[in-house]
Amino acid sequence: MNELTIKRPDDWHLHLRDGEMMRAVLPFTAELYGRAIIMPNLRPPVRTVEDAAAYRQRILDCLPPGHGFQPLMTLYLTDETPPAEIRAAKTAGLLSAVKLYPVGATTNSEQGVTDIKKVYRVLEVMQELGVPLSIHGEISDPGVDIFDREAVFIDRALEPLRRDFPELKIIL
């Protein structure tokens, strides 16, 4: 075999945003992709089961007729995310991953994680349930050169995280 044809690929990192932007982007996405992991960094972010269900429904309501596009929902991890919320979202069948944004690192990350140690209880539950952690791998320390933010994140945050949670599924 010399050729591989992917008839309906998936998008593993999709920002649909909401409202007019979503209505403009979604028809093109649905035409090309069968599924997509939907990023939760809206204003306000998708932090709860209810938020994810409502956002998923808005996405489905915007789909052009006849498309079988499947949005794979994520929750936005904060310092205050309760472990019970992860269990509830997983039980509800609404959770494909949890997204970690370091506070201040990217668009709409103002409510992101300030210190990885603050979410260890949540990560324990995710590891137990097999829920992947999707990471925006960038340190937001102003003392770190902008071109070194990813490398410093790997050293300061990712390596200890992998050591402390060896069975946690991680998407970087």
Tens digits of per-residue pLDDT, 27-75?
A: 999 999 999 999 999 999 999 999 999 999 999 999 988 888 999 999 9
Q: Domains of the chain: which residue ranges?
A: 10-171
% residues pLDDT > 70 (the chain): 100
> Does domain 10-171 match CATH 3.20.20.140?
yes
* Rounded Cα–Cα distance for residues 76 and 87 (Å): 14
Q: Please report how many Cα atoms fall inside a 13 Å half-sphere around the Cα of residue 150, on the Cβ side.
A: 4
* Rounded Cα–Cα distance for residues 42 and 22 (Å): 11
43: tokens are 């204003």
Instruction: Give every CB contact of residue 101 below 8 A, 6+ residues apart in sequence.
Output: 41, 76, 77, 108, 109, 112, 113, 136
Q: Which of 145, 79, 91, 144 shows the shortest CA–CA distance to 117?
A: 79
% residues pLDDT > 90 (the chain): 86
Tens digits of per-residue pLDDT, 102-117?
A: 998 888 889 999 999 9
